[in-house]
Amino acid sequence: MKEDEVLLMEVVSKEYRTGQIGYGTLKRDLQSWWAKVRHKEDPNGKLTGGRYRADGTFRALDGIDLSVRRGETLGIIGRNGAGKSTLLKLLSRITEPTEGVISFRGRIASMLEVGTGFHPELTGRENIYLNGAILGMKKAEIDEKASDIIAFSECADFIDTPVKRYSSGMLVKLAFAVAAHLDGEILILDEVLAVGDMAFQKKSLEKMLSVAREEGRTVLCVSHNMDTVRSLCRRCIVLEEGKKIFDGGTEEAIALYETLCRDYRAAAPSCKV
């Protein structure tokens, strides 16, 4: 890793099995083992070629190379199923890559889905601590930031009420507030800026901009909202069928993405209304 790099992915791939996972896997394991014992070719071995393999595995990500420097704001765009979420899952260590190496400096703070781990019976304040700790903060760090988080969430009046009595808007605002105050060197956002009403969305976007521009942290952002991508990201990659097909300026990336979507619409049988 070079000095100014914070994240480096080298030929990273992720395979999933298609169909009913968990059925017949023992049989498959035994088959592979028996073939190995006889020095025969593994019938479930990896084949080369397209995204779907003969043995029923599916390449969600295929040979991704990516290098991100400190302080960059990188947008990740692509159509549904292109592999964006899989990429973020690998980075936030929820699952392991099948092949390749990912290295990063410091902490990755992931805002994959806000409100994860909220417990309905606990109060807002208790949930701030629980959620913060789940996302990797220490108690002392949360102590330091609790008042900022409460202020940002706009839920101060209800902070000692169990969150099961919150409106859904309050819940997402509180959750976003916790995540926005995470301390990682690399922040991952997956469609989380579309939370709350318009005023709150604007506030969230501004918060993320200040995180990137003023605090010099690295932000990786997945969104289908091109306005968000435009205002937040200076560099973008475009994913298509598990492969990285573009890496460069935001405007060009968005243009490419829009072409992809148009081609897809033109190719797909239209439905008459």
Residues that bind other proteins (CB under 8 A): 1, 16-17, 21-22, 70, 89-90, 92-107, 110, 112-113, 116-117, 119, 121-122, 126, 129-130, 133-139, 141, 162, 183, 185, 215
The C-alpha atoms of residue 112 and residue 101 are separated, in whole angstroms, by: 21
Closest CA to 182 of 120, 96, 116, 236: 116
> Are the C-beta atoms of 138 and 54 separated by less than 8 Å?
no
Nearer to other proteins, 31 or 98 (CB): 98
Closest CA to 8 of 91, 102, 74: 102
Q: How far is the CB of 47 from other proteins (least distance, A)?
A: 18
Q: How far is the CB of 166 from other proteins (least distance, A)?
A: 16
Nearer to other proteins, 126 or 247 (CB): 126
Nearer to other proteins, 36 or 138 (CB): 138
Q: How far is the CB of 6 from other proteins (least distance, A)?
A: 9
Nearer to other proteins, 82 or 91 (CB): 91
Q: How far is the CB of 41 from other proteins (least distance, A)?
A: 20
> Are the C-beta atoms of 228 and 196 separated by less than 8 Å?
no
Find the angle CA(99)-CA(103)-CA(106) to the nearest 5 degrees: 150
Could you say which DSSP state residue 216 is in? -
